[in-house]
Structure 1
Amino acid sequence: MLDHYRINVSDIVIGEPLPWDVYDESKRLLLSKGHVIATERQFDELAKRGLFIDGSAADRSRDRKCEDHSAKQAHPSALRIINLAHKRLERLLFNLTNETDTQEKVLDIARSIAQAIDINPDISLGCVLLNQQAHNYTIRHCLDTAVLTAIVARGMQKDPDETLVMMAAALTMNIGMLRQHDELQARSEPLSERELESIRQHPQQAANILMQCGINDPAWLSYVLLHHENEDGSGYPLGKSVGEIGTNAKIVSLADRYCAAVSNRRYRKPLLPQSAMRDVFLGAGKPSDPTLAAYFIREIGSYPPGTFVRLQNGEIGVVTRKGKTVTTPVVHALIGPRGAPLAFPIQRDTGKDLFAIKETLGGEQAVLRFSLQQLWGEEAAL
Structure 2
Amino acid sequence: MTIDPSHYRLPDGLFVQNRLQQEGDWHFALTGKFRQRLYAPHQGKLLPPAPARQHDALQEVLTLARYFGQLLYLPPPTLQGEDIGVLLARLQALVQHTPDGAIAAIMLCPWQDYTAQHGINAALLACLLARVLQLPPEEQDSLMLAALCMNLGSATLHNELARHEGPLSTSQRKRLEIHPLVSSALLRELGFASPLLHACVLGHHERFDGNGYPFHLRQEQTSPLAQLLRVIDISTAKLMPRSYRQPVPAQRALAQLYTQSGEQFDPRYTAQLVKLLGVYPSGSFVRLASGDTAIVVAQGEQLNLPLLAPLRELEQRLDADGNIASQLTVQVEARHLQKLGALWPLPA
TM-score range, shorter chain: 0.7 to 0.9
Distance in 1 of aligned mates of 2:346 and 2:296: 15
- Deviation at 1:163? 1.0
Question: What corresponds to 1:236 in structure 2?
Answer: 213
- For residues 202-247 of structure 1, give each alpha carbon's deviation from its aligned partner in whole angstroms, at most 9, with x where no partner exists: 1112112222333211111111111111112221111121222222
* Contact 2:151-2:183 within 8 A present in 1 as well: yes
Shift in CA distance, 248/379, structure 1 to aligned 2, threshold 3 Å:
same
- Which is greater in Rg? 1
1:221-370 maps to which residues of 2 (within 5 A)? 221-283=198-260, 286=263, 288-334=265-311, 342-350=312-320, 352-353=321-322, 355=323, 357-364=324-331, 370=336
Q: Does 1:90 align with 2:39?
A: no
Which letter maps to 1:108? V
Q: Does 1:139 align with 2:116?
A: yes
Decide which of 165, 180, 205 is 2:182's aligned counterpart.
Answer: 205
* Contact 1:322-1:329 within 8 A present in 2 as well: yes
Question: What corresponds to 1:379 in structure 2?
Answer: 345
Question: What corresponds to 1:162 in structure 2?
Answer: 139
Q: Which has the higher contact order (CA 8 A, sep 6+)?
A: 2
- Deviation at 1:291? 1.3
Partner SS for 1:360:
strand
* Contact 1:79-1:116 within 8 A present in 2 as well: no
Distance in 1 of aligned mates of 2:198 and 2:220: 18
Aligned length: 302
Shift in CA distance, 333/207, structure 1 to aligned 2, threshold 3 Å:
same
Distance in 2 of aligned mates of 1:280 and 1:199: 22
Which letter maps to 1:185? A
Question: What corresponds to 2:81 in structure 1?
Answer: 103
- Deviation at 1:290? 1.7
- Deviation at 1:269? 2.2
Distance in 1 of aligned mates of 2:248 and 2:278: 15
Shift in CA distance, 371/122, structure 1 to aligned 2, threshold 3 Å:
same
Question: What corresponds to 1:194 in structure 2?
Answer: 171
Partner SS for 1:363:
coil
* Contact 2:231-2:265 within 8 A present in 1 as well: no
- For residues 136-169 of structure 1, give each alpha carbon's deviation from its aligned partner in whole angstroms, at most 9, with x where no partner exists: 2110001100000110110011223421221111
- Deviation at 1:378? 6.8
Deviates more, 1:156-165 or 1:124-133: 156-165
- Deviation at 1:297? 1.1
Shift in CA distance, 236/368, structure 1 to aligned 2, threshold 3 Å:
closer
Distance in 1 of aligned mates of 2:138 and 2:55: 23
Question: What corresponds to 2:7 in structure 1?
Answer: none
* Contact 1:329-1:349 within 8 A present in 2 as well: yes
* Contact 1:309-1:359 within 8 A present in 2 as well: yes
Distance in 1 of aligned mates of 2:333 and 2:131: 34
- Deviation at 1:42? 11
Question: What corresponds to 2:91 in structure 1?
Answer: 113
Which letter maps to 1:241? R
* Contact 2:58-2:341 within 8 A present in 1 as well: no
Distance in 1 of aligned mates of 2:174 and 2:214: 9
- Deviation at 1:380? 5.7
- Deviation at 1:280? 2.4
- For residues 104-151 of structure 1, give each alpha carbon's deviation from its aligned partner in whole angstroms, at most 9, with x where no partner exists: 322221111000111211111101111124x42110001100000110
Shift in CA distance, 160/285, structure 1 to aligned 2, threshold 3 Å:
closer
Distance in 2 of aligned mates of 1:150 and 1:232: 27
Distance in 2 of aligned mates of 1:77 and 1:367: 16
* Contact 1:77-1:116 within 8 A present in 2 as well: no
Which letter maps to 1:130? L
In structure 2, the gaps of 5 or more residues are 1-41, 47-51
In structure 1, the gaps of 5 or more residues are 1-39, 45-68, 335-341
Distance in 2 of aligned mates of 1:301 and 1:212: 39
Partner SS for 1:317:
strand
The sequence identity of aligned pairs, in percent, is: 25
- Deviation at 1:282? 2.1
Query: RMSD of the TM alignment (CA)?
Result: 3.0
- Deviation at 1:315? 2.1
Distance in 2 of aligned mates of 1:378 and 1:123: 5
Which letter maps to 1:363? V
Partner SS for 2:216:
coil
Distance in 1 of aligned mates of 2:55 and 2:92: 13
Distance in 2 of aligned mates of 1:370 and 1:194: 38
Distance in 2 of aligned mates of 1:109 and 1:367: 24
* Contact 1:111-1:164 within 8 A present in 2 as well: no
* Contact 1:78-1:119 within 8 A present in 2 as well: no
Question: What corresponds to 1:19 in structure 2?
Answer: none
Which letter maps to 1:96? P
- For residues 31-90 of structure 1, give each alpha carbon's deviation from its aligned partner in whole angstroms, at most 9, with x where no partner exists: xxxxxxxxx99996xxxxxxxxxxxxxxxxxxxxxxxx9xx7xx9543444334323322
